[in-house]
């Protein structure tokens, strides 16, 4: 019986392990390409590409019209090989990996440093194919810009905690611009009343009187837990808050775009001790 149980556990956990292994293999191929760029090693570059691969850039011409530029892989590898070692440094900040059987897509945020100087930033959209000799890059399409670029690795939990603190402080000081500016345009706020489900701009209108004074509300966090997605683009948290209603629980979801975090969803709930639940139910029971 014990042997059967061990087998069941193995087969249940094994798919998770395999998925993790596949992710690591895909990311390793991409890292090999960027390491090859830094080393000016054209052979290392060629080794990671599928024979039919192509490199493309989604950009705009001088008139602002969209265009798609294509660079043949042999030309790309030759350019890398002719550069000085360490002169091409593409810094990757996140890996958003999706895999199904022999197909993988990876979205990476990057900042490109050429000869020690900032050049541009954007995203790379990779497509990889599983071959008999491992994963190969089949397609790369990138974007390029010079605004809202990440220049150093995010501070993760510390950075997120500071963002949430500033958001609460904006309400405490009735800073309407900072408070609602921290939310995405489609961000949702769930209040303690069952009718309170607001999208950002609707909430701003509903809270005009509250933000007209010196303080809209002043919530103090006493216990906060922060979690981050593997690619660093999302964060979610929950916390206990000291409020005028007593102890409440707040929980939310953040999305990072470049160096900017935005609140996508927030839920504020009143906490009710279990031993007082029946009294609470009587108070809220509809007659």
The DSSP 8-state label assigned to residue 84 in this structure reads P
136 shares a domain with 42: yes
115 shares a domain with 41: yes
168 shares a domain with 65: no
- Residue 196, helix vs strand vs coil: coil
- Residue 151 falls inside a structural domain: no
211 shares a domain with 239: yes
102 shares a domain with 49: yes
Helices (H), 69-155: 73-82
83 shares a domain with 10: yes
Q: Provide the residue range defining the domain that includes 6.
A: 2-143
- What does the pLDDT read at residue 11? 46
Global pTM value: 0.62
| pLDDT band of 1, cuts 50, 70, 90 | low
- What does the pLDDT read at residue 174? 97
Q: How many structural domains comprise the chain?
A: 2
- CA dist 26 and 129 (Å) reads 9
176 shares a domain with 123: no
In contact, 175 and 204? CB cutoff 8 Å: no
Instruction: Specify the DSSP element, H or E, that contains 274.
Output: none
Backbone conformation region of residue 149, classed left if phi is above 0, alpha if psi is from -120 to 50, else beta: beta
| pLDDT band of 101, cuts 50, 70, 90 | very high
Between CA 238 and CA 242, with CA 240 as vertex, the angle to 5 degrees is 145
Note the pLDDT tens digit of each residue in 180-235: 999 999 999 999 999 999 999 999 999 999 999 999 999 999 889 999 887 778 99
The dihedral formed by the CA atoms of 185, 265, 93 and 122, expressed in degrees to the nearest 10: -20
What CATH number did the domain enclosing 256 receive?
A: 3.10.450.50
């Amino acid at each position: 019986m014990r042997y059967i149980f061990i087998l069941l556990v193995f087969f249940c956990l094994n798919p998770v392990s395999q998925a993790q292994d596949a992710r690591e293999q895909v990311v390793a191929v991409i890292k090999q390409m960027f390491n090859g760029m830094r080393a000016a090693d054209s052979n290392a570059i060629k080794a990671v590409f599928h024979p039919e691969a192509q490199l493309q850039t989604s950009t705009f011409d001088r008139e602002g019209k969209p265009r798609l530029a294509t660079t043949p892989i042999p030309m790309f590898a030759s350019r890398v090989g002719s550069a000085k070692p360490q002169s091409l440094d593409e810094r990757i900040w996140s890996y958003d990996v999706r895999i199904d059987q022999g197909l993988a897509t990876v979205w990476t945020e990057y900042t490109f440093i050429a000869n020690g100087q900032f050049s541009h930033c954007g995203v790379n959209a990779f497509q990889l194919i599983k071959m008999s000799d491992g994963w190969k890059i089949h397609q790369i399409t990138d974007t390029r810009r010079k605004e809202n670029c990440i220049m150093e690795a995010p501070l993760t939990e510390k950075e997120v905690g500071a963002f949430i603190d500033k958001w609460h402080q904006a309400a405490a000081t009735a800073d309407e611009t900072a408070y609602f500016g921290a939310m995405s345009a489609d961000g949702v706020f769930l209040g303690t009343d069952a009718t309170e489900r607001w999208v950002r701009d609707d909430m701003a209108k509903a809270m005009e009187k509250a933000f007209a004074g010196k303080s809209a509300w002043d919530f103090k966090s006493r216990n906060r837990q922060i979690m981050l997605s593997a690619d660093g683009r999302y964060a979610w948290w929950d916390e206990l808050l000291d409020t005028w209603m007593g102890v409440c629980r707040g929980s939310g979801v953040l999305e990072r775009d470049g160096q900017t975090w935005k609140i996508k969803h927030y839920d504020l709930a009143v906490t009710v001790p279990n031993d007082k639940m029946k009294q609470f139910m009587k108070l809220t029971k509809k007659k």
